[in-house]
């Protein structure tokens, strides 16, 4: 076990604060990482690094292999049904890597690929690039189609139960595409859309835009409601069991009711200038919500926040710009610019909601109900 500073607070009893070992292990990630870790069906953890490595780790934290690209990896890996690992890179290539670390193929685009791939039920791959295009590939790496927007596409796509693909662009528009690449509808905002959308139980779509607004749309593209948050960050929303939406806004962790009103807003515990909340949260089966952000803390709060209290937190020693991964056994994997990947020993798995964490589930397929 690795010993590290973690401040624990026990709710519902006399306040107890102590330094304790809560992490199972740490793995050094040279250069740090802004890539959110993904989990293979066999428990392998996959992570991109700022030095351009795709790294595979065992559940015990030992390195299984690493695959070298030609530039930084800001995107998060996605795991296909056969265990193939897909990840975009700032060398303009989108890679397919076998479960044993061998390159299967690479697809070249005209710009950085910071968006994570969405994977359809038939294995088709969907992702955007800084070249302003949104791509669809077959599982063998051949191109199916491309869709041109008027701005870079860094918003990672989401796929609903009917196979409709949703994503935003720097052009300020949110797009819905049919599986054949035809435009179903588009929704215009007043600012770039950089976050990944979340999809609710009835097909409703949630996302922020960098004009300070948070949007809820119906599946046909009509507005359900919008909420002015003042946010300029790229935090992607996640959903609780009762439909509550959890998202970070600048230096505040927030809960939004299904009708579009704030339930609560909680400032960063230790805010630092210009270090913002760019990450998605994760909702646990016991109702607690795990946040990470620029304040260098893993912060866990009760979803109802009735006592406006935190349950436990963990200090990462540097800002985090990747979203937490929660395994079926409750282990939480988090990265920071420290640089290292930490495995935290917690007992609660993900909540059974349509979209409980970044990209919808541990394999990062971007499909609704993919947990």
* pLDDT tens per residue across span 155-185: 999 999 999 999 999 999 999 999 999 999 9
- Distant-in-sequence, close-in-space partners of 256: CB < 8 Å, separation ≥ 6: 214, 227, 237, 244, 245, 246, 247, 262, 263
pLDDT in tens, 182-207: 999 999 999 999 999 999 999 999 99
Domains of the chain: 1-30+233-371 (2.40.128.630)
Burial degree of 151 (CB within 10 A; 0-12, 13-18, 19+): middle
- Distant-in-sequence, close-in-space partners of 301: CB < 8 Å, separation ≥ 6: 253, 266, 288, 289, 291, 309, 310, 311
- State residue 306's pLDDT score: 61
- State residue 14's pLDDT score: 33
Q: Which residues pair with residue 266 across a beta bridge?
A: 253
Instruction: Annotate 75-140 with DSSP letters as a single string.
Output: SPPEE-TTS-EEEE-TTSEEEEE-TTS-EEEEEE-SS---SPPEE-TTS-EEEE-TTSEEEEE-TT
- Is the CB of residue 332 less than 8 Å from the CB of residue 300? no
Report the SS3 class of residue 256. Answer: strand
Q: Tens of pLDDT along the chain (371 residues)?
A: 343 444 444 333 333 333 333 689 999 999 999 999 999 999 999 999 999 999 999 999 999 999 999 999 999 999 999 999 999 999 999 999 999 999 999 999 999 999 999 999 999 999 999 999 999 999 999 999 999 999 999 999 999 999 999 999 999 999 999 999 999 999 999 999 999 999 999 999 999 999 999 999 999 999 999 999 998 888 999 999 999 999 999 999 999 999 999 999 988 877 677 778 889 999 999 999 999 988 888 988 899 876 667 788 888 888 899 999 999 999 999 999 889 999 998 889 999 999 999 999 999 999 998 76
Strands 332-336 and 325-326, bridge-based pairing: antiparallel
- Distant-in-sequence, close-in-space partners of 309: CB < 8 Å, separation ≥ 6: 9, 11, 301, 302
Tokens encoding 102? 């061998």
- Is the CB of residue 216 less than 8 Å from the CB of residue 256? no
């Amino acid at each position: 076990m690795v010993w590290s500073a973690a401040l624990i607070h026990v709710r519902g009893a006399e306040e107890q604060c102590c330094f304790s070992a809560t992490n199972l292990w740490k793995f050094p990630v040279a250069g740090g990482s802004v890539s959110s870790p993904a989990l293979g069906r066999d428990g392998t953890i996959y992570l991109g690094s700022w030095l351009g490595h795709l790294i595979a780790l065992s559940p015990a934290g030992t390195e299984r292999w690493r695959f070298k690209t030609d530039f930084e990896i800001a995107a998060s890996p996605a795991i296909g049904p056969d265990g193939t690992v897909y990840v975009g890179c700032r060398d303009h290539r989108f890679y397919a890597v076998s479960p044993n670390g061998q390159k299967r193929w690479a697809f070249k685009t005209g710009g950085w690929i910071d968006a994570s791939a969405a994977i359809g039920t038939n294995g088709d791959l969907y992702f955007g690039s800084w070249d302003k295009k949104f791509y669809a590939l077959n599982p063998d790496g051949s191109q199916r189609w491309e869709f041109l927007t008027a701005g870079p596409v860094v918003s990672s796509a989401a796929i609903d139960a009917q196979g409709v693909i949703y994503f935003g662009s720097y052009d300020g528009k949110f797009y819905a595409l049919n599986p054949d690449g035809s435009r179903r509808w588009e929704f215009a905002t007043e600012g770039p859309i950089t976050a990944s959308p979340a999809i609710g139980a009835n097909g409703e779509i949630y996302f922020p835009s960098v004009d300070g607004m948070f949007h809820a749309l119906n599946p046909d593209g009509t507005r359900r409601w919008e909420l002015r948050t003042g946010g300029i960050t790229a935090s992607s929303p996640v959903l609780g069991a009762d439909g509550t939406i959890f998202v970070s806004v600048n230096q505040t962790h927030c809960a939004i009711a299904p009708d579009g009103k704030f339930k609560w807003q909680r400032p960063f515990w230790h805010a630092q200038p210009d270090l913002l909340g760019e990450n998605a949260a994760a909702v646990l089966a016991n109702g607690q919500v795990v946040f990470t952000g620029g304040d260098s803390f893993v912060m866990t709060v009760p979803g109802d926040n009735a006592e406006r209290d935190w349950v436990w937190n963990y200090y990462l020693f540097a800002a985090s710009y990747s979203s937490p991964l929660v395994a079926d056994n409750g282990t939480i994997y988090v990265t920071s610019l420290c640089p290292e990947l930490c495995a935290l020993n917690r007992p609660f798995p993900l909540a059974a909601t349509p979209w409980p964490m970044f990209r919808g589930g541990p394999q990062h397929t971007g499909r609704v109900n993919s947990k």
